[in-house]
Amino acid sequence: MENKEFNALLQDKIPEVRPIYEREVKDFWEGEEPGSTIVVEDYLMPLVYKALDEDDERLLEEFRSWLEEVSSLGDDDCEEVIFVCIFEKAFYEKRLGELKRRAFGPNALKFLSRTCYANKG
């Protein structure tokens, strides 16, 4: 999946990302399309961590729905973004266990089980 398509799907499923994305594209990226890893790691995940901290179940459900969809696509590029920007980052920030419990559905858990982080967190 190309960055533009991935980023559009993310914004459609999690509308809270859109204003951050649009501001960054205008102010920093000068109209260019940022990579999906940047969008997920820098724009999405702070929102997800805030939702965990504030018990924002609506945003966590949006995240779960999006993650379920992209983790079931079987797309190598999507899987790399999920692995690096969600699983690995959450592991190093000691939030993977909490994410697994509160924001991962069966597809995400299945994908996670195929990674080196399967028994972490």
C-alpha span between 35 and 51 (Å, rounded)? 23
Give pLDDT tens digits along the chain (121 positions).
Answer: 888 899 999 999 999 999 999 998 888 887 788 899 999 999 999 999 999 999 999 999 999 999 999 998 989 899 999 999 999 999 999 999 999 999 999 999 988 888 776 566 6
Q: Kindly list the distances between the CA atom of residue 91 and the CA atoms of 28, 74, 112, in Å, as whole numbers in the listed order.
A: 28, 22, 12
Considering the entire predicted model, what is its pTM? 0.90
Q: What is the pLDDT of residues 60-90, one digit of tens each?
A: 999 999 999 999 898 989 999 999 999 999 9
DSSP 55-107: T-HHHHHHHHHHHHHHHTS--HHHHHHIIIIIIIHHHHTT-HHHHHHHH--HH
